[in-house]
Structure 1
Amino acid sequence: MLRKFLAVLPILVLLLAGPAARAQELLAEVTVSAENVTISDPTLITQMQKDIREFLNNRAWTTQPYADNERIRLRMFIGITTIPQNGTYNCIMRLVSTRPVYGTGYETNVVSINDKGFNFNYSPQMSLRFSPNSFDSNLASLLGYYAYLVIGMDHDTFSKLGGTPYYELARNIVNYSANQTNTNEPDEGWRGTGSRERHVLLDNLTDPQFEPLRTGLYNYYRQGMDVFIEKPEEARTSIMTALTGIQKVAITRTGAFIFRAFFDAKAEEISNIFRTSQDQAQKQQLVAMLTEVDPGNSAKYQLVLK
């Protein structure tokens, strides 16, 4: 894939480059569900779904060229929970991004995120305008934030700390959105007032104490998954190195949102990777380590020993 060989570009270039010279990075599937609310015009939901999908897929988010087969796949589910007033939607959002494994047809999850405060104003007539340096609407800011988060984490899997410029762009969005006063869309999720807000998630990814997680992404994917088909034992060793580094940080920063996002995406795959290993000591070490830092998925890890 081309992007794994590209150097990190300066943020200034990302901000100033024109969209016409760039290719689209994302290939998103978007589902909007209104099963928990009453909608008088069901075509509104169809249009909302289309507008969100096109916003994510048709916009050039970076200056890097992406071939069609290099676009980052993601699935986004938006469930409308309440409609406080006409045109205002309170939602939950689930996002899963994936990445292909070199030399195979397998798509591996990179991150799984739940946002329980995905709230915005929308009408079919609105134009979704976006800049990482200003606030136009909460929906545009939400989508832009998650776009850069997904792109950043994808780049971290191809080069060590390769996602940094995109996390900085996401930081711009957080700051402008948290401080905006020109709309009637206040959103506490931008302000970092709880344990799972967007501000906190980005803090996790940019905190130097969490660097072993980000370098672990490179070891897990580029030096692990991408060579697994040819060198399975070397790949498992690299993945163990990645998970050991992640464990050390997770113990000191118990409950950090980013670890939940990582293990929700990876627990089943990790179990499958090590179930076929012939190294019993390695398997026992893995299960003990992950049961400690991710007890919610302990049943999946126990399958490694069977």
Structure 2
Amino acid sequence: MMRKILATLSLFGLLFAAGSAHAQELLAEVQVTTQNVTITDPTIVTQMQNDIRNFLNTRSWTTQTYRPEERIRLKVFIGITAIPQSGTYNSTMRLISTRPVYGTGYDTNVISINDRSFNFNYSPQAPLDFSPNSFVSNLSSLLGYYAYLVIGIDRDTFSRLGGTPYYETARNIVSYSANQTLTNEVDEGWRGTGSRERHFLLDNITDPQLEAFRTGLYSYYRQGLDLFIEKPDEARASVMAALTGIQKAALTRPSTLFARAFFDAKSDEIANIFRTSQDAQQKQQLVALLTEVDPTNTAKYQTVLK
């Protein structure tokens, strides 16, 4: 597994890995806020926050071995927007995953995702439970879906198309959640009825016509950022190749959610990577490419030329 290159091959490390075959993959920070919503018992929000964090961090999502330093760091921000009835919540969520860069102390944002609307039932007395093959609750389905999505994207950065099995599990969660009739938690986000819903995000990632998104992740991270300290020019060339592929895929399918999530996470970093380049032509090509595929951040990319 490519993440093992980040671990120290000491005797202690080997013994630890051998005894941790089911170590947890995620290390999530969770924040639940209640702006403009009145909750009579604020301890419910605190327990909800703790339950979500423990759900993500203590469960083994795969059969792979993860050492503590290999766990995927995740920030989850949930904003409760309404409480239609006791125990039922309408919310938004923002999720940011990061990845260490080899040979540095730098953690880089991998993906930034906004889920603009979901609803769920929650009771402090009922533990969160989950199955990858059947619906238990909308909150556990949502968290499980994003857990597998984040793990899949992370794997794609370490091996070419390495995230495939995790996207398949996420697809299964979408299918049974869209068709569930067990609870009152009908959530249109599973059904692809909006332009920025989780149904479409997974479609973007797994569409064969948009495979350049996923191969671009490998070029950007494993062949780019991970080599930057030792071979900055080669690393920039790999990042440029990745961005070229992402541009072509984005133009094939305009307004794709994956492209937006990628550039939301990477625009500052891309500008910093190329700002110190001595290749003026490469900088011009970069700015032209990014202005076309990510016009929202054009001013930021223009600083590369200064």
Q: What's the TM-score, normalizing by structure 2?
A: 0.94
Instruction: Provide the residue aligned with 1:149 in structure 2.
Output: 149
1:252-291 paired onto structure 2 within 5 Å: 252-291=252-291
The one-letter code of the counterpart of 1:238 is S
What's the CA shift for 1:35?
2.3
What's the CA shift for 1:21?
5.2
Contact kept in structure 1, 2:2 and 2:159, CA below 8 Å: no
Extract structure 1 runs of 4+ deviating beyond 3 A: 1-5
1:28-107 paired onto structure 2 within 5 Å: 28-107=28-107
Deviations 1:165-200 (A, max 9, x none): 000000010001001011110000000112111111
Aligned in 2, Cα 1:235/1:21: closer, same or farther, shift over 3 Å? closer
State the distance in 2 between where 1:125 and 1:3 align: 38
1:9-24 paired onto structure 2 within 5 Å: 22-24=22-24
Structure 2 unaligned regions, length at least 5: 6-19
State the distance in 2 between where 1:72 and 1:167 align: 16
1:251 aligns with 2:245: no
What's the CA shift for 1:102?
0.2
What's the CA shift for 1:2?
5.2
Contact kept in structure 2, 1:4 and 1:155, CA below 8 Å: no
Helix, strand or coil at the partner of 1:117: strand
State the distance in 1 between where 2:51 and 2:302 align: 43
1:224-243 paired onto structure 2 within 5 Å: 224-243=224-243
Deviations 1:92-116 (A, max 9, x none): 1000000000010000011000001
Instruction: Provide the residue aligned with 1:11 in structure 2.
Output: none
Contact kept in structure 2, 1:4 and 1:159, CA below 8 Å: no
1:118 aligns with 2:118: yes
Aligned-pair Cα RMSD in Å? 1.2
Report sequence identity in percent: 76
Contact kept in structure 2, 1:3 and 1:64, CA below 8 Å: no
State the distance in 2 between where 1:4 and 1:138 align: 34
Instruction: Provide the residue aligned with 1:12 in structure 2.
Output: none
State the distance in 2 between where 1:103 and 1:152 align: 23
Contact kept in structure 1, 2:2 and 2:158, CA below 8 Å: no
Instruction: Provide the residue aligned with 2:177 in structure 1.
Output: 177
1:128 aligns with 2:120: no
State the distance in 1 between where 2:201 and 2:4 align: 24
1:169-208 paired onto structure 2 within 5 Å: 169-208=169-208
Helix, strand or coil at the partner of 2:118: coil
How many residues align? The count is: 292
The one-letter code of the counterpart of 1:133 is N
What's the CA shift for 1:3?
3.6
State the distance in 1 between where 2:305 and 2:138 align: 47
What's the CA shift for 1:233?
0.4
State the distance in 1 between where 2:56 and 2:170 align: 15
Deviations 1:214-264 (A, max 9, x none): 000000000000000110000000000000011111112110111100000
Structure 1 unaligned regions, length at least 5: 6-19
State the distance in 2 between where 1:45 and 1:103 align: 39
